[in-house]
Amino acid sequence: MAQLVLLNSCPPQYVLLRRVRISKPSIWVRKPTTVSSPSFSTSAPLSYASFCCSCSATSSVEPDLSSSAKIFVKGLPHSTSEGRLMKVFSEFGEVNLVQLPIDEKSGKSLGFAFIWFVKEESAQLAVQEMNGKFFDGRFIYVTIAKPGSLKNLKTTTAYKF
């Protein structure tokens, strides 16, 4: 079952509906703590949520998620939030989308994320500036994401003998 969530931080002409999957009641989406981040709320439990907003007048409603403007970040603390990543990486250019996979049992980050930028140059600048840097108490690894890397993250079931 899925539920539509309204992302209401953009002007009315750019309001975007995103479909999210409902899962176990152990995980609840919280409003991001940073003021500058897009926010949403729901009363239904969610196993994974991502937010996306493009508020410039020249942007279309559907963000361009080309792989050349997507970066992969690993080594993140489990306490990292999408809002925090959005705030930090927005310093290098406009961010389209942040995906931070969450452990369904603990509700904490898995320690890595994908971030889509509007421009490829912004993604390259973020890699140059943030790779190997100290971020929230840990050294992080930042690189341009490989095509299809998000598809390979699906969990597999254990082989039964």
Write the CATH number for 6. Answer: 3.30.70.330
Mean pLDDT, residues 107-130: 95
Q: Which domain holds residue 126?
A: 2-152
The tens digit of pLDDT for each residue in 54-90 reads 444 344 445 556 566 999 999 999 999 999 999 999 9
Question: Does residue 23 register a pLDDT over 50?
Answer: no
- Please name the residue ranges forming H helices in 1-133: 82-89, 120-130
Q: Is residue 157 part of a domain?
A: no
Q: Is the pTM of this model over 0.85?
A: no
Number of H helices, E strands in the chain: 2, 9
Single-letter code of the amino acid located at 125 = L
Q: Is residue 161 part of a domain?
A: no
State how beta strands 112-117 and 70-74 pair: antiparallel
Number of folded domains in the chain?
A: 1
Question: Does residue 149 register a pLDDT over 60?
Answer: no
Q: Is residue 54 part of a domain?
A: yes
Q: Is residue 53 part of a domain?
A: yes
Q: Is residue 158 part of a domain?
A: no
Q: Is residue 61 part of a domain?
A: yes
Query: What is the pLDDT, as a whole number, of residue 147?
Result: 81
How many angstroms separate the CA atoms of 88 and 49, rounded? 19
